[in-house]
Amino acid sequence: MIQGFIRTKFYTFLRQVELKNIYIEATAKTPHVDFNPLTGELIFSGKSIPENPAKIYESLLDWAQQYAKSPRKTTNLRLNIEYFNTASVIWIAKIVKALCAMSETENTLLIHLYFDIEEFDSMEADDVKEALSPVIDMVGTPSISLGIKIYGTDEKGEIIKESMVLI
C-alpha cells in the first residue's frame, strides 16, 4: 500500500515536471503571460485586446486543462490586466473553468484582481461578485475552494490595499 502511494506521488510529480512553464512577453495588444506549474502561479498582466484571441488563449486553455489534472494544492491566478476586450474575458473565463475542474476537492484556486486605488476604494464586495458573475456563471459550482482577492494599486502598480471575497 505504501509503495502504491509513493508511486502515485512520483507519477504526479513527473506530470508536473513534464508540463512546461509558459512565458510570453507583452505586446501593445497582448498580455504578459507567466504560467508556472511548479509554483502554481499563473499570471496575466498588461492589455488584452488581440485581433485573434484564439491564437493566444487556445494554447493557454490547453495548458490549464493539463495543469488541472495534477495541480499544486493552491493555485494563484493573477489577473493584472489594465484593459481587455470581450473576447479576452471569454477565454479567461474558459481558463478559470478549466482550473475549477482540478482533480482534488482539497485544491484551492485564488483569483487575484488588481485595480487602481480609486476604483478599489469605490468597490464593495457585491460589486466584485456582480462584475465576476459571467465568469462564475460559466464555472458553475466548483468542486474546489475558490476565493477572489482584490487589490488597490497606485500609479506604480504597488499594492496599497487588499480585500478577500470568498465565493
User: Any idea where the domains of the chain sit in the sequence?
Assistant: 2-166
End-to-end alpha-carbon separation of the chain, Å? 37
Alpha carbon separation from 162 to 96, 125, 148, 150 (Å, rounded):
21, 12, 11, 6
- pLDDT at position 134 is 65
pLDDT in tens, the chain (167 residues): 555 555 555 545 544 458 999 999 999 999 999 999 999 999 999 999 999 999 999 999 999 999 999 999 999 999 999 888 989 989 999 999 999 999 788 999 999 988 888 888 888 767 777 766 666 676 677 778 888 888 989 888 899 988 887 66
Q: Which of 141, 68, 138 is nearest to 102 (CA)?
A: 68
Rounded CA-CA distance 87/100 in Å is: 20
Q: Which amino acid is at 37?
A: P
In sequence order, the 6+-apart residues with CB closer than 8 A to the CB of 33 are: 22, 23, 24, 43, 44, 56, 60
In sequence order, the 6+-apart residues with CB closer than 8 A to the CB of 31 are: 24, 44, 45, 46, 47, 48, 81, 84, 88
- pLDDT at position 63 is 98
Strands (E), the chain: 22-24, 32-36, 41-48, 74-84, 108-116, 145-153, 159-166
- pLDDT at position 19 is 93
Burial track 126-144 (b if 16+ CB lie within 10 A, e otherwise): eebeeebeebbeebeebeb
